[in-house]
Structures are given as structure tokens and as C-alpha cells.
Structure 1
Amino acid sequence: MRVFVTIGFVLALVSGMASGGQVEAPTNAREGAGDVAQAITRLVDGEEDALQAFYDARGHRPAWQDGETVAAFAAALHTLDSDGLTPQDYQADNLVAAHRQAYAEGDSDGGNDAGNDGGIERQARFDLHASQMLLTALTHLQRGKVDPRSIDPDWEIPIVDAELDPAAISRAVDAQRFEQAFSEARPAYAPYERLRAGLARYRTLERLGGWESLPARERALRPGDIDDDVVLLRERLAIMGEVELMAAAIEAFPGAVLDGTDPRRYDAKLEAAVRRFQRRHLLEVDGIVGAQTLAALNVPVEDRIDQIRLNMERARWLLHGLPESFVLVDIAGYRLSYIRPNGEIWRSRIVVGRPYRRTPSLRSEITHMTVNPTWTIPPTILREDVLPAVRQDLGYLWRERIQVLSPSGEPLDPWEIDWSRPGNVVLRQAPGPHNALGQVVIRFPNDHMVYLHDTPSQGLFSREQRAASSGCIRVENIGEFAQLLFDDTDSGHDVRAQIDRGETRNVRLAKRMPVILHYWTVHPSEDGQLAFRPDIYERDAALLQALDRPLS
């Protein structure tokens, strides 16, 4: 978004003031509103549509002549910190001084009063600048500050312009209801509010000093141990809200009453708290504080704050215009949620792409399913996985029920192919329970050729971290999920009966079902706890850098 008046212009206005000077808007400022309106009419022509619409809604009247309105706006901008945004991106600390300079009695180069052409031009430019700051803040609150395509080349979710009501914004300015305007702009969904609440809570922890890191250990902490480090472990988990540990962690909660428990003993209550921590952070849930659990415990509060902030930005990209019913694939959380038309939510564990074969972010609509699918092996998997296995043992093809075909689909004899240089052959796995796609594939149009599917490798679902596919999403209990989709779209099909027919068939849904694949490294649960996930695709650092980059 282009800002009409540059930051340099605002700083130039501020620098022209006498140090510590208090310049009030002149009494004739409102009398010259008509002249300023004419200048605004001229200057706004050719600017962004949102800015023109704002001034059209108010008949090109200046919005920022009143110093109290500017001060109220500047104060409200500081509340954007609660959304993980940077108030100074919107000139929160400079607007009041710039307004005073714009309405100063004399120009810096002479004694012309505020009613002359130079003063009117300056006031109109300030007015447009302040309005642009407001529209920029509202847009960032509603749709995000960062263009996701700038940091994720595989981004396939449509970018939708912010939906701003210029008349309502104009009324909010006149009534100085800026925080209300911000509230109406930010995503009106529970996950976003939970992230805001979590950000406030972690910033409180930061102000209180955060938490002390547990020292590195050669031996893991285990249930039953008696160790000084157990005291630190109790304090760390108590700070995060493990109420049952508060009595033992007396240092973390002054005034709490000890219950006689030896704080150095790794007891059952502490083990249960560690297991909850591990589950939230997608670590192996064993109650043992080994290297991975220790590393997650020792992430500084400042880093957790940044992680919350950048996931609030991801929420702003996504949480708008959502349908009443849709499928949400949480990539980093290894979880699929189907929000059904009746309001119920069906959830399942999933397996997603490895870090070098990433599952993309996208938005599409489920159109049909394939039962008893064949699997045409994609070029990357063929080149990197299958051909090396075939070269080592040609029997791999028969064991995996893989047929060799020409590009036109004609069967070829595997013995007659030079597998060191196989040329343009197609390998296709026959349908059946051992097919890599299992017995059901759920399909939706996208440029990455990914889909939801069954798998014969059911053991993968028992892992906490499940980035093990080649980009597609494997779904646990996919038959149950598929039947719900058929039922909720009035498609009239029985999944089990379709599979039992033994044929490879495409079965269409009577109505399309929206599906969203998105990447989150913080999940706000319904109980208010934040689950921090490993950044398996290493996307957080680039987003944080872009989020903190000052506006040009």
C-alpha cells in the first residue's frame, strides 16, 4: 500500500517545531475548512481507491483539523500492539506533533498565516496522510500487513482486498471511536481472540521477568528423581498455569501455601504436567525431560511472543469470509478439522509433507473422491525413491504391484527396459489395500497436485510429529470422514459399499465442500492454552522479519 505523505514529510514537519513547543491549531482553522477541502479534492485525485472513497463519503471535508481527534487516534494506534503489530508503522508517536506543525501560525520560511496557500496545502497533505495511516492500520488488522506470496512461493490462497466501509470509518473519526473501528476490522473469530489473549499473557510474563532456563544435563530428568533442577522445572510449568504445581513452586507464586511436597522430587503431579506440556508442543509424550523437552522449556518468553505475533498475522491472512462448513488442514499441527454444517467438528490426525517436500498452503473445494485408486507415481518420487529401488532389485515392481506403461498407457515389459536410462516411462501401482493411496482419495483442484488420502502405513499416526509424506495429506479414519462428506452434501453414497465393489471409480459430491490448507506454529486451544509447534518448514523467521520491517 502506498502512503500518500511519506514518513520523511512527517518528520520534516516535526523537525520544524521549536524544541518542546506546544503549538495549538489556530482559531480560524475551521473557518478555512472549505479551502482545505478544495485542496483535498485536488490532491486525492489519482490516489488509492480506499482513500478516495473515504473522502467521497465525507464530501472531502478535512478529517483531522481537531487536535483532540488526532491525539485520540495516536493513542488508539498504540493499542495495535495487542494485535502483534507495530504502532510506529502508522506514525503513532509523530502524528500529534505533525498536526501542530501543519496548523502552526507561521510557515518556517516566513510569516504567512495558516490561511495562505502554503498553509492550506500543508494541512490538506497532513489530512490525507493521517487518513492513509488509519486506512492502512484497518487493512492490516483485517487482512494482514505482509503479502504471504512474498515469503511463500507455494502460496495458493487467493488474496482478497480488505472490505472497509468508508462511511462508517468517517463517522468513527468524527466521533473519535478509533478502538471500536479497530475492533470491527480485526478477525471476528475465536482463535484470533485467543491469540490476542495469549499475547497479552505472555507479555505480562515478560514484564515479570520471564522464566529461568533449566541447565543443560547429561542425564534426562525422570519421574522419581530427586534433583535441584526439579524445583526449576516446577517453577517453569507453574508459570505457564499448571495450578497443581503452584504450592510446590512457592518462589514462582509468593504467598502460596506449601502442601508438604518435597519440591525436589519428580512426583506424579509433575509428571502429568510434563506430559501435558509435551502433548501441546507435539513432543514425545513420555513424562521424561530429555533434550527435546528441555529445549522447548527453555525457549525464551521473547521468542514465544514473536511466535504468537507472526501466527496472528497468519490468522489475519485466513480468518475472513470463511464458509459455515469447511475442511481445515492444520499442516504444522498435523491435524484435520471438518466443521460440519450442523456445527459439530470432526477431527483427525494427519501426515503431511517432509520438510523437503512441503505441503502447500492453499484454498480450494472438494469435488469428488476416488475409491480403490491406482497410483501413478509422480516424477519426483519416481526419480528419487522408486527408480533407485528398481535398479537394486527388479522384483520391487512385482512386490509393490507396479505396472510399467508407455506415455500413451500401453503395458511395457520391465525386463526390456534399461533402468539406468528408462526414458519416458510411467509407473502405476494397482489398486488394493497396499496401494500407497489406500482405498480412498479425496480430491480438490490445485496447482500442486496434492490431495487427502488413505494410507496402508497406519503406524505413522501414532507419532507426535508426522511430517513424512511427499506433499499430500494422509488422513486417519478417512473412511469415516468420507462418509460424513457424502452425508453432509446429500450425495447419497455409501463409502464402504463403493470400496467393496472393487472397482476404481470417481464418485462426485453433490455439492462442493471448501477446503483450506494452512500453516500454523501456534494453536490456541479452547481452554486458553497456547500450543507451540515445531516450525517444520522453517517459515517463521522470514515472516517475523517481514512483519517487523518498517513501512516504506
Structure 2
Amino acid sequence: MNRPNLIRLSVSSLLAVAAAPLLAQPPAVSPTLPPATQPVAPPPVTVMPPVPIPPMSAAQESWLNDWLKGGTKEGLMARSKASQRLSGDALVSAVLDRAKALSTGRVDTADFLQIWALRPAPFDPRPGLARAIAEDRLPQWVSSLTPPYAGYDGLRRGLATYERIRDEGGWPTLTAKSSPDAIRKRLMIEDKSVQPDENLVDALQRAQRRYGLNPTGLLDTRTLRELNVPVDDRIAAIMANMERWRWMPRQLPVNRVQVNIAAAVLTLFEGDQPITSMRAVTGAPDNATPMLSSSIHSIVINPPWNVPASIAKKELWPKGRAALKRQGYKIVGTPETGERIVQPAGPNSALGRLKFDFNNPFAVYLHDTPARAKFASYDRLASHGCIRLEKPVPLAELMVAGNPDLAGKVQTLIDTGKTQRVQLPKEVAVYLLYWTAFASSNGTMNFRSDPYGWDKLLAQKIEASSRRLDPTAAPSPAIALKD
């Protein structure tokens, strides 16, 4: 408790540590040890030589140099610079670096925030490059490097659109007093379906849906704020989300639960197709829900809430013991051995009637809640980091459907009032993801606010890493970089 459109498919460094000897000669083996327990030297570590890169033809070198110019198209930099053509080892090094960046991300995992617990799999591009050169199949190899998802492709197309908008001067700043014509012209920049004589309410409603706002059709404060987000910030958001796609596994489990933290929406996939979705409540900005992947292994029915120490200290202990007991909390333990607060199972438990458990280092999970009002809101980032569910019972029924002893009986088990853990017939993969930019099927970009401030931070990290590592990259005036 402490702290989307997927589907076209789904290095680590070897650290050698050499300890300097303390003596010029190795010490003699202790004569007091029997031969069977004499220290045994570890076997030597065998380091395989790198796969050799065959010589390239002039045409191959030219093709790769042209390909390297496309870093902006993949969101690896906001702007590129003209650079001299590379050859030999310099070209090979640049190509391998770009290949790894496209496959597992530009930002090294050592530079991740701890809460970005989604980690890309190790990837060595060298064998693939060697084979592509030998077989003269560089275009095919290059096309295999990027994430195999429609979501990534949509962002790539969206990035080109917003870079063109930026290069054409961006968009004007609106005010509450802007004329209908000015508002309509502003909407047309992002939404080509807006017509000059279209009802402004309809056009505003489409924009509000793209931003995840209540579609009132009115130019209210939140809509005005979204329309006035600078185009450079939209580009940074697209770059950040493209990078997050690069952290994803190349093939996702066909049956899975996905939570978009930023949009506060849960989607259940079966056979790689979304079959149901529901509103959720995710972590407030000061209690961010982590990005991670795991597997739901069990459901606790009628769960008690063991209040985390951080929440107890900040929110409950200040109320006083008498008030806590009146509210139904129990204080377990003694002052000498340590005390903790437990909220017994029941209709008023903060966890509601169901808790979906999966292993993770943040002690977060999916759960029911007695507080239902927030699900009607368009602003649903309000939890301590866990994910509250709008429809937990139907979700549980879908997960236990493979067990005839449990299928259709979740509500019956709840009604007993008994706390019990139910193992799922088959674990269900769960992904907690942070998507703040994604494309609709018609190519229109959708944005969500960046409640945790991760988009600009990640875009800065991408840009800074590109400046250090990529010979085609240039510092971008669009993103305030911090080294």
C-alpha cells in the first residue's frame, strides 16, 4: 500500500572485479584444514570474444549513415544536426548504439528512478548486425529493432505530426476571452476533422476526450490549460512514451491485466484482445503508483488492512488511540515490542471485500474500496499507491472462471464474511504502465496530464544520453536539459 493500444506483438554489462593481492606471494594453505575442506579456487570466467563484424560494402556504409540520421523519427532526440559521414569502427559503434537504444531504450537502467521498476530485457545487437551485413539484409534487421506494437507506431507517426506543428510555429495561446474563431482555429491544428463552420461545442468535446477531461463542450479552466500546453511539451511526452514502449517485453502474455496509471483505467486482455475495462483510482502525485510487471497469484476475500507504518504515522496515529478504536481500528502489539494498526475486514475496510495480490517490492496491489464516489470523477489519482477498482467482483469472476469450484461463487464467498485466500487456477500477468500519450485508431493523438512529472524528466534523460552517446545528436532548445 506504500508506495495501452498494445498489440502488434510482443545488456546487462559483465562486470569483472579483480581484487589486488595483499601479499606478493599467495599465503600457504592452512595446515589445520582437512584436504576435503581446503579452499578451492573458483573456475576462471570465460569471456567470449565479441562477434566479428564483417567488412561493409560502400552501399551498406551509405545506407547505414542515412539511417543514423533518423534519430528524431524514433524519439531519441528532439532535433538532429548535420554530421560527418562515419566509416569503419566509428560507424559500427554508432550503429550498435542506435540499435540498442531502439530495442531497449536510450536511457540506461542505472539512470532510472527506483519507482520505474519496469526493466527492459538485455539485448546484444552485435550478432544481428553481423548477420545482416553478411546477408545484405540491413533494412530487414533495422525494422526488427523497434517495439513490435501498434502503440509505438502510432506515437512515431504522432511525433512527426507534432514536430511539423512545432516547425510551423506551434499554436497561439488562448484565453477565456478568445473568440470562437480563434478557438476553432486552435483546435484545427491538432484535429484536422474540425470544420470552419462546425459547432464549437462538438469540436471542444472531441478535444476534451483526447485530453481525458469531462466533455462539457465548454472552454473551462482545465480545457484551456490543456490547449495551452506548449507543443514542445507534447513532443517531450511522445518521446517519453516511446521510450517506455522500448522497455516492454517483445511479446506480452496474451492473457493479462494492464493498468494505465496516468489515465486511471484497468483493461483485461484475453487472447491478446481487450475484453473489459473499468475505471480505477491510482496513486496521488505524492504517493505515485510504480511502473512494474508481475503476476496476480491469489485473491484475498474479505481482507483486513494492515496499515503501513508510513500511513499510520502520517494519518492515523495523530487521531489518538481512542478515536482509532471508535472507528473500528485495532492496535496490535505493545509499545515495547512495537505497535501497528489493523483495520478488520468488513464493509468499511479500506480494501473493501477483495484484494488481488502479486509480488512486487512496493507492497502495492489491486483492491476493492468502500469509497465509490471517486470513480465518477475524471480526476482519479488519489490513492496511496495501490489501485482501487470500480468493478472488482466481475474481475475476480473472470480470473477464477477456470476453477469449477470457484466459478460464479465470488460473491457467495464474500457474503460469508470469512477472510480467506483463493489461489487462481492460473496466474494472470499484470502490468502497471504510465501512458500519457497514445494514438487513436485514426491517428489522432491523445494526451493525459503528467501527474508525476515523469514525462519531461524522461525526455531530458533521453536527450542527455543522446548527446553523450550519439554522434548525430545535438542539444535541443525544446527541452530544458540538466546534466
| Both structures adopt the same fold (TM-score exceeding 0.5) | yes
Report whether the alignment pairs 1:513 with 2:428.
yes
The 1:283–1:531 alpha-carbon spacing in structure 2 relative to 1, beyond 3 Å, is same
> 1:382-439 deviations in whole A, cap 9, x for unaligned?
1111112236xx24432x32122216xxxxxxxxxxxxx8982222112112110000
8 Å contact 1:339–1:346 — kept in the other structure?
yes
1-structure distance, mates of 2:468, 2:315: 45
- TM superposition score normalised by structure 2: 0.81
Q: Is the helix fraction higher in 1 or 2?
A: 1
2-structure distance, mates of 1:489, 1:309: 43
Partner in structure 1 of residue 277 of structure 2: 347
Report whether the alignment pairs 1:130 with 2:130.
no
How many residues are matched?
425
Q: Shift of the alpha carbon at 1:474?
A: 0.3
> 1:235-277 deviations in whole A, cap 9, x for unaligned?
111222252x3233xxxxxxxxxxxx7xxxxxxx321221222
Range with bigger deviation, 168-177 or 434-443: 168-177
> What SS does the aligned partner of 2:212 have?
coil
> 1:144-183 deviations in whole A, cap 9, x for unaligned?
11134523122323441126472x5334335654343221
Q: Shift of the alpha carbon at 1:447?
A: 1.1
> What SS does the aligned partner of 2:293 have?
strand
Q: Which amino acid is the alignment partner of residue 446 of structure 1?
A: N
Report whether the alignment pairs 1:77 with 2:63.
no
> What SS does the aligned partner of 2:421 have?
strand
Among 392, 411, 414, the alignment partner of 1:499 is 414
> 1:44-82 deviations in whole A, cap 9, x for unaligned?
xx9997x812x1xxxx64x23x33322211101123321
Aligned-residue identity in percent: 31
Range with bigger deviation, 503-512 or 493-502: 493-502
Please show how residues 134-533 of structure 1 align to structure 2 within 5 Å: 134-162=95-123, 164=125, 166=127, 168-174=128-134, 177-214=137-174, 216-217=175-176, 229-241=179-191, 243=193, 245-248=194-197, 269-341=199-271, 343-390=273-320, 394-398=322-326, 400-406=327-333, 424-487=338-401, 492-493=406-407, 494-533=409-448
Unaligned runs of 5+ in 2: 1-10, 14-44, 470-483
8 Å contact 2:120–2:246 — kept in the other structure?
no
2-structure distance, mates of 1:491, 1:240: 52
Root-mean-square deviation (CA), in Å? 2.9
Unaligned runs of 5+ in 1: 4-45, 100-125, 220-227, 249-260, 262-268, 408-420
> What SS does the aligned partner of 1:131 have?
helix
The 1:88–1:241 alpha-carbon spacing in structure 2 relative to 1, beyond 3 Å, is closer
The 1:233–1:454 alpha-carbon spacing in structure 2 relative to 1, beyond 3 Å, is same
2-structure distance, mates of 1:315, 1:489: 34
Q: Shift of the alpha carbon at 1:541?
A: 2.3
The 1:130–1:87 alpha-carbon spacing in structure 2 relative to 1, beyond 3 Å, is farther
The 1:383–1:315 alpha-carbon spacing in structure 2 relative to 1, beyond 3 Å, is same
Partner in structure 1 of residue 473 of structure 2: none
2-structure distance, mates of 1:329, 1:547: 24
The 1:92–1:506 alpha-carbon spacing in structure 2 relative to 1, beyond 3 Å, is farther
2-structure distance, mates of 1:469, 1:316: 28
The 1:87–1:531 alpha-carbon spacing in structure 2 relative to 1, beyond 3 Å, is closer
The 1:67–1:541 alpha-carbon spacing in structure 2 relative to 1, beyond 3 Å, is same
The 1:87–1:435 alpha-carbon spacing in structure 2 relative to 1, beyond 3 Å, is closer
8 Å contact 2:402–2:425 — kept in the other structure?
no
2-structure distance, mates of 1:458, 1:83: 41
Range with bigger deviation, 66-75 or 458-467: 66-75
8 Å contact 1:358–1:470 — kept in the other structure?
yes
Range with bigger deviation, 272-281 or 351-360: 272-281
